[in-house]
Amino acid sequence: MSRGARHGRSKPVRERRCVATGEVKGEEDLLRVALSPEGRVTPDVAARLPGRGGWVTADRALVDKAVKKRLFNRAFEQPVEAPDDLADQFEALLKARVLNLLGLARRAGRLELGSDAVRLALQTEPGPAWRLEASDAAPDGRKKLDHLAKAIESDAPVLGCYDADALSRALGVGNAVHGALAQGPEAAGISALASKLAGFVNLDPAGPGAQKS
């Protein structure tokens, strides 16, 4: 768990039942769906759409299972239509919300960009809550930061599932490749979203572990 997550405000954990497994879990592990006026299952990442909802574990395989076996019918107690690409929709919405929070953090001065800024952040207490590494970053620059983080035993997780173009557009800058996100409300929000996004995509596909596999 990132330091950003540990310093977030604690909230009562509400439990729901996953339609795919039947397990009762905290909402932090689940994603909500709602029904559109046409009776179509709609992803509700913010869990704010009106009406009765259904819940499914934040995991691509389980979302696909719920769609294929029409398990959302149970949640709504009626036949409903779920899109075949529901898992892809969840992934896209989660990614967009993370980018939005990164943009807010940048405007609030809690996100520094550039390899020098990351080096400084890693060596300054309490250290960053998250590191950003563009998925298409040059390997040499990434390796240097990885080595520094390992040497100082930084526990900041890496968010590396966006390319430089996506990061640059979200942050309103040119060539966003390396970044350090300070602890704060945006980091706490990203930690919560990232735990769900990890069920749909590798958060750091270019990381050292992925390179060895």
Q: Which helix (H) or strand (E) holds 43?
A: strand 41-44
- Is 65 in contact with 74 (CB distance < 8 Å)? no
Please tell me whether the overall predicted TM-score, pTM, comes out greater than 0.75 for this model.
Answer: yes
Distances in Å between the Cα of 149 and the Cα atoms of 53, 58, 60, 156, 160 are 42, 29, 31, 8, 15
pLDDT in tens, 75-102: 999 999 999 999 999 999 999 999 999 9
Going by pLDDT thresholds of 50, 70 and 90, the confidence category of residue 50 is very high
Which DSSP letter does residue 19 get? T
Give CA angle at 79 (78, 80), nearest 5°. Answer: 110
Burial 134-156 (b: 16+ CB within 10 A, else e): bbebeeeebeebbeebeeeebeb
Mean pLDDT of 111-131: 97
- Is 186 in contact with 110 (CB distance < 8 Å)? yes
Structure token pair of residue 203 = 């958060």
pLDDT mean across residues, the chain: 92
**Is pLDDT at 7 greater than 70 in this prediction?**
no
